[in-house]
A and B are shown apart, each in its own frame.
Chain A
């Protein structure tokens, strides 16, 4: 066992000394969590509108009505509005002509040009614009009606302000029981991204590292290790343990860094680490298998990166599993990522205990066992093969 631990220790030290890993292991995962978190959390929840036109009472009224409705408003020129829409950077454009602004000031009817983009959600934002537009000049009509009934204009305005202040407006109380909305409620900005990214990078780093196993064989390190009083079993156990240690190290680093920097809540830490360790064992087994079946390290790193990204995308590490269609969600569970994602989701969102995540842990452990046994067997065979 001591020999195996020593080999694993050397593998981890070599991994940490490799300066190229600074970016891929320490910086890139956090960068991705940051970018994904800010993309999916930021921005007005009720869409984006770009308004073109000079500063006017009408523009101010439209902009503030829409902002009060939770729409993100940007004020710009007419050409810029068309470009923003064409490129999908805004949902709806509104062009306020000088004629419209003057007509609004004079209390006349106004015609506004709206331009819609072609992405999802545009229609909902357009409806918000219609609702906001309908309420723009309400007060002018109210004053006119009261004046028509013989009330003085200033008295009418004062009475309207007084009544508006004392009356409670009818409102909508919206409760969302949508399965997905419920599932994600209470999650921090970065929580969802962090769990997925951890799984992605643990697996990706392990598979990309399979090329070191090929180098170890090519440079004769394995043969020399076996020349020492170390059995083949110990040497292979050391290699497996090394891969496992690196995978756990990578995952634990992302968990720690995201919880410190982005306040990601990982729920029960010990259970999360247990999921990570089991998932890392699967990753280590896969890395051993790739590293001993393929003899060309360029091809191995290509397959490693490709497989790492494809399995992560399929396993819900890039788009949450909850957003998958049902059939695809079932298919996703051929990947270890999906099982680990489910386990993390239970721990993070539902305070699950060990018993609750036993099915996921069991599947991951079974996958790890199969891959580690197969990896050990192929590694043993590959040692006898000339490179």
Chain B
């Protein structure tokens, strides 16, 4: 045990003195978090903003007026409808005073009633987004309703319904239509905020680099010839490997904890229960460290090891959503879920949404399963560096 600790402590001292572990493990991910947060973080505001619409509606057109009424009734955010001329509506959108221009043509009501083409010109301006989408969908709903009323009245004419009863047909149709009521519930959220996802993603990606500074030291020792000297010492060879693993593990846990802590302080992110987060970090570092043992066996030289490590880190990081979330469903989604970085980010999503230790079973199982499989594989794959 004393030998294990001596080797681990000596390696840790070397790594801390080596600037590269600080650069790769802390400085680069923090710099990336900062820049990503500045750029991507600024684009994802989910609160709905007030919408101003410049609308040109022909006077004395009752059907056209229902459009404006329906827009004003939207209650999830404020919609201001300014009734202006068609030219003015266009000018307001171009100048940015309104986000949407709606121009209802003259004779719109009659055209709808008779089933002749009636096209409402809508112009979306700068700053259009979710709010304008909602307004468009509301208007589409009104048009569907107007069209249905026209259809039933014309069908009444065709089937010989008395003229004095035609006017009431539309209303009767609306009343007789079975109502479809929507009840609205909120899903429990297991998602990180945009900033949270950036912090978690970068911490996960760079974890794969940080743990390498420990485990891949095996390859470097072999290359420098110090491995042979270590082996000649009176101790079990397994201790050398264990020491390297422990160095990687400690570096990984420290770097990830620092990144999550600093990231949540800087970018105002809360990841939730510290105990659950700690469990996730320990499991993620175990998964990452075990992957390095495979590389340490397969790589002949330190250069090969560092290349294999970078490739795996980037592929797993990209697939785990370190740069942007991948929206895959079905089999591809399930495969992506098996990635330890994705499981780590998902676990942090669960804890951020209020989940505790009991709720993170799936991500923990994925990360530990990954660790066990990698460790088993690292015993099975040929040790290509042995001849060195």
- Give chain B interface residues in 143-188, CB to chain A under 8 Å: 143-148, 150-152, 154-156, 158-162, 165, 169-170, 172-188
Bound form: Cα–Cα A32–B136 in Å: 35
Stretch at the interface among A145-153, A345-353, A367-375: A145-153
Residue of B nearest to A104 (CB): B178
- Residues in B neighbouring A136, C-beta threshold 8 A: 180
Instruction: Report if A123 contacts B (CB, 8 A).
Output: yes
Instruction: Report if B190 contacts A (CB, 8 A).
Output: yes
How distant is B330 from chain A, measured CB to nearest CB, in Å?
A: 9
B150 engages A167 (CB within 8 Å): yes
Instruction: Report if B274 contacts A (CB, 8 A).
Output: no
B178 engages A123 (CB within 8 Å): no
Our count of residue pairs bridging A and B at CB distance below 8 angstroms stands at: 312
A130 engages B188 (CB within 8 Å): no
How distant is A44 from chain B, measured CB to nearest CB, in Å?
A: 11
How distant is A338 from chain B, measured CB to nearest CB, in Å?
A: 11
Bound form: Cα–Cα A255–B137 in Å: 40
- Residues in A neighbouring B173, C-beta threshold 8 A: 138, 141-142, 144-146
Stretch at the interface among B25-33, B80-88, B255-263: B25-33
A146 engages B185 (CB within 8 Å): no
Instruction: Report if B323 contacts A (CB, 8 A).
Output: yes
A159 engages B36 (CB within 8 Å): no
Instruction: Report if A363 contacts B (CB, 8 A).
Output: no
Q: How many residues of chain A are within 8 Å of chain B by beta carbon?
A: 104
Bound form: Cα–Cα A115–B187 in Å: 6
A39 engages B184 (CB within 8 Å): no
A313 engages B36 (CB within 8 Å): yes
| Known contacts A149-B169, A323-B43; is-contact A306 B115 (Cβ 8 Å) | no
How distant is A125 from chain B, measured CB to nearest CB, in Å?
A: 9
- Residues in A neighbouring B318, C-beta threshold 8 A: 31-32, 35
Residue of A nearest to B115 (CB): A167
A324 engages B39 (CB within 8 Å): yes
A23 engages B126 (CB within 8 Å): no
How distant is B384 from chain A, measured CB to nearest CB, in Å?
A: 15
Bound form: Cα–Cα A351–B94 in Å: 24
A118 engages B155 (CB within 8 Å): no
B42 engages A324 (CB within 8 Å): yes
Chain A 132-176: CB-based contact to B (< 8 A → 1; otherwise 0): 011111101110111011110001100110111011111111111
Stretch at the interface among B16-24, B226-234, B284-292, B365-373: B16-24
Instruction: Report if B2 contacts A (CB, 8 A).
Output: no
- Residues in A neighbouring B338, C-beta threshold 8 A: none
- Give chain A interface residues in 73-123, CB to chain B under 8 Å: 74, 82, 84-89, 93, 103-104, 107-123
Bound form: Cα–Cα A141–B144 in Å: 14
B143 engages A167 (CB within 8 Å): no
B120 engages A170 (CB within 8 Å): yes
| Known contacts A142-B151, A167-B150; is-contact A134 B174 (Cβ 8 Å) | no
A302 engages B28 (CB within 8 Å): yes
Bound form: Cα–Cα A142–B150 in Å: 10
How distant is A134 from chain B, measured CB to nearest CB, in Å?
A: 6
Residue from the set B23, B121, B310, B325 with the largest chain A CB neighbour count within 10 Å: B23
A39 engages B111 (CB within 8 Å): no
B303 engages A20 (CB within 8 Å): yes
B140 engages A305 (CB within 8 Å): no
B190 engages A20 (CB within 8 Å): no
| Known contacts A20-B307, A124-B133; is-contact A110 B146 (Cβ 8 Å) | no
| The one of A135, A180, A301, A325 that contacts B144, using a Cβ cutoff of 8 Å | A135
| Known contacts A116-B187, A134-B141, A170-B146; is-contact A148 B122 (Cβ 8 Å) | no
A148 engages B133 (CB within 8 Å): no
A124 engages B39 (CB within 8 Å): no
Residue of A nearest to B44 (CB): A120
How distant is A307 from chain B, measured CB to nearest CB, in Å?
A: 8
Bound form: Cα–Cα A296–B72 in Å: 66
- Residues in B neighbouring A123, C-beta threshold 8 A: 48, 76, 130, 134
By Cβ-Cβ distance, the 10 closest A-B pairs, closest first, are A167-B115, A141-B177, A306-B28, A144-B176, A302-B23, A85-B187, A298-B20, A124-B133, A145-B173, A131-B141
A-B contact sample (4 more), CB < 8 A, given A20-B303, A20-B307, A35-B318: A127-B137, A145-B173, A177-B123, A181-B124
Task: Please name 18 pairs of A and B residues whose Cβ atoms are closer than 8 Å in the assembled complex, sorted by A.
Answer: A86-B353, A93-B187, A109-B179, A110-B179, A113-B183, A127-B134, A141-B172, A142-B177, A145-B169, A145-B176, A163-B158, A167-B115, A168-B117, A169-B143, A172-B120, A296-B19, A305-B24, A318-B36
